[in-house]
Amino acid sequence: MNKNARQYTEDATSALKHAVENLQSALETVEKPQNHELIEQALQACQNAYNHTNSTASVLAQE
């Protein structure tokens, strides 16, 4: 069975949630301040993407 747009969006949301969790774990173990900053930036980008895909999935679920 082929996936629809909502299902693909939910998959992306799930993957982004996992990425956020991994980056949060990385922040707990990073040693160099410059690497900490890079991970924080990546975490923020993933959180923003997660929030956007999550809200998109919610809209698609209502259709």
Residue boundaries of the structural domains of the chain? 5-62
Please report the pLDDT score of residue 40 as a whole number.
Answer: 98
pLDDT in tens, the chain (63 residues): 899 999 999 999 999 999 999 999 999 999 999 999 999 999 999 999 999 999 999 999 998
Structure tokens that stand for 21 in this block: 């969790």
Q: In the chain, where does DSSP find H-type helix?
A: 5-29, 33-62
Residue with tokens 């301040």, as numbered in its chain: 33
Instruction: Return the pLDDT at 1.
Output: 83
This prediction has a pTM of 0.89
